[in-house]
Chains A and B, each alone.
Chain A
């Protein structure tokens, strides 16, 4: 059977089409979802895409986190549905308290766009099971508010319970505590990260690799991981 993965469009979303494309390349059906609806259209998993929902007003992701569709996303996530938040989507997940901590302006104030090396820390989530723990991958990073912070107690819990999904490798681009680039919840169905897997799914359009320019497709395994997780249910 073909699994359906929904991608929510918010006012100011940018990367929903790339996310839909990544889902199709991975072999699933991409379903468009709308921020103002309460309808998840029967999808099996959800992607909250990158962008600048509501112009990052108030705090990045804060207004989107209280939009109508998010009450359905939160309910589905709490029942175990795989949910991936990319960049602005990660910001929404922390604002919705589905993931712990918060994201603030990059330490050096600048918007950063680079192909970013990450270390996979937790390879047993719904979105990372096709990676190996400790594996290094490269996917694009592009954001202004990517500094991950949490109080000491939360950070200790996040580290102690293995909730760090990805860490920046080689360089910490934005001052994130403990080099944290992405997190999972305890159950492993909700994952959020600042870098963009959906921009590294097709040779010719991904990051450079040692083999060939723009040939990096490390992002594809996020989506194939979700399909594997869904097939295993």
Chain B
């Protein structure tokens, strides 16, 4: 089954409270050299048929209007060829 992967991140200029908490935890653990952690989301969309241009446009629209909120997040990547047999690992 073809799989499409969408990556969404909180906007760079906005506070990411989760990432900030993890940054603090790493620092407490003495893991030096990591100055910031930001946490985003990965969506894996399994599709029934081939990835057509129409489907690409559809997924682009879904990613921008539903999977992310453009006020607070950016769609940073859409991988339309995530499942050509190699990504099973």
B6 at the binding interface (Cβ < 8 Å): no
A109 at the binding interface (Cβ < 8 Å): yes
Binary B-proximity of A137-158 (CB < 8 A = 1, otherwise 0): 0000000000101110010000
Checking A106, A108, A149 against B14 with a beta-carbon cut-off of 8 angstroms, the contacting residue is A149
Q: Is the CB of A104 within 8 A of B21?
A: no
Cα distance A79–B42 when bound, in Å? 37
Task: Give chain B's interface residue range (CB within 8 Å of chain A).
Answer: 10 to 19
Q: Is the CB of B69 within 8 A of A109?
A: no
Q: Is the CB of B17 within 8 A of A109?
A: yes
Quick one: which of B13-43 are within 8 Å of A by CB?
Answer: 13-15, 17-18, 21
CB proximity of A66 to chain B, nearest CB, Å = 7
Checking A58, A94, A175 against B15 with a beta-carbon cut-off of 8 angstroms, the contacting residue is A175
Q: Is the CB of B17 within 8 A of A108?
A: yes
Report the count of interface residues on A (CB-CB < 8 A): 21
Q: Is the CB of B71 within 8 A of A101?
A: yes
Checking A94, A109, A175 against B71 with a beta-carbon cut-off of 8 angstroms, the contacting residue is A94
Q: Is the CB of A105 within 8 A of B18?
A: yes
Quick one: which of A91-108 are within 8 Å of B by CB?
Answer: 94-95, 100-102, 104-108
B residues near A58, Cβ cutoff 8 Å: 66-67
Q: Is the CB of A104 within 8 A of B15?
A: yes
B residues near A151, Cβ cutoff 8 Å: 11, 13, 71
Closest to A145 in B: B17
A residues near B45, Cβ cutoff 8 Å: none
CB proximity of B22 to chain A, nearest CB, Å = 10
Cα distance A117–B27 when bound, in Å? 35
Q: Is the CB of B17 within 8 A of A106?
A: yes
CB proximity of B70 to chain A, nearest CB, Å = 9
CB proximity of A70 to chain B, nearest CB, Å = 13
CB proximity of B50 to chain A, nearest CB, Å = 27
Q: Is the CB of B66 within 8 A of A109?
A: no
Given A58-B67, A66-B66, A104-B10, CB of A149 within 8 Å of CB of B72: yes
A residues near B69, Cβ cutoff 8 Å: 59, 62, 95, 102
Q: Is the CB of A107 within 8 A of B66?
A: no
Cα distance A107–B17 when bound, in Å? 6
Cα distance A108–B18 when bound, in Å? 9
22 contacts between A and B (CB under 8 A): A58-B67, A59-B69, A62-B69, A66-B66, A95-B69, A100-B71, A101-B71, A102-B69, A102-B72, A104-B10, A104-B72, A106-B17, A107-B15, A107-B17, A109-B17, A147-B15, A149-B15, A149-B72, A150-B71, A151-B13, A151-B71, A154-B71
Q: Sorted from nearest, which 4 A-B pairs have the closest CB atoms?
A: A102-B71, A102-B72, A105-B17, A109-B17
Contacts A104-B72, A151-B71 known; list 4 others, CB within 8 Å.
A94-B71, A102-B72, A108-B17, A147-B15
